[in-house]
Amino acid sequence: MNAKKMANYTNNAKAQELWKTFYLCAKESKTRRFHALYDKIYRPDILWEAW
């Protein structure tokens, strides 16, 4: 596996881990509000995955 593919894999894994954390927290408490998500969404790995 070359370096670029490996970087994509780790970014993808981190993005999925963040998504899973949000998902589980939301399912645990239906009234939970997620404030100040900008710092999490603006991460380079999340933006790369979205692109």
Identify the burial level of 36 via C-beta atoms within 10 angstroms of its C-beta, where 0-12 means exposed, 13-18 middle and 19 or more buried.
Answer: exposed
Count how many Cα atoms sit within 13 Å of the Cα of residue 12 in the half-sphere of its side chain. Answer: 6
Predicted local distance difference test score (pLDDT) of residue 9 = 58
Predicted local distance difference test score (pLDDT) of residue 24 = 92
Helix (H, G, I), strand (E, B) or coil at 18: helix
What is this structure's pTM? 0.55
Predicted local distance difference test score (pLDDT) of residue 7 = 55
Helix (H, G, I), strand (E, B) or coil at 2: coil
Predicted local distance difference test score (pLDDT) of residue 28 = 92
Tell me the pLDDT tens digit for each residue of 1-51: 454 555 555 667 888 888 898 889 889 988 888 777 777 778 887 788 778
Predicted local distance difference test score (pLDDT) of residue 10 = 67
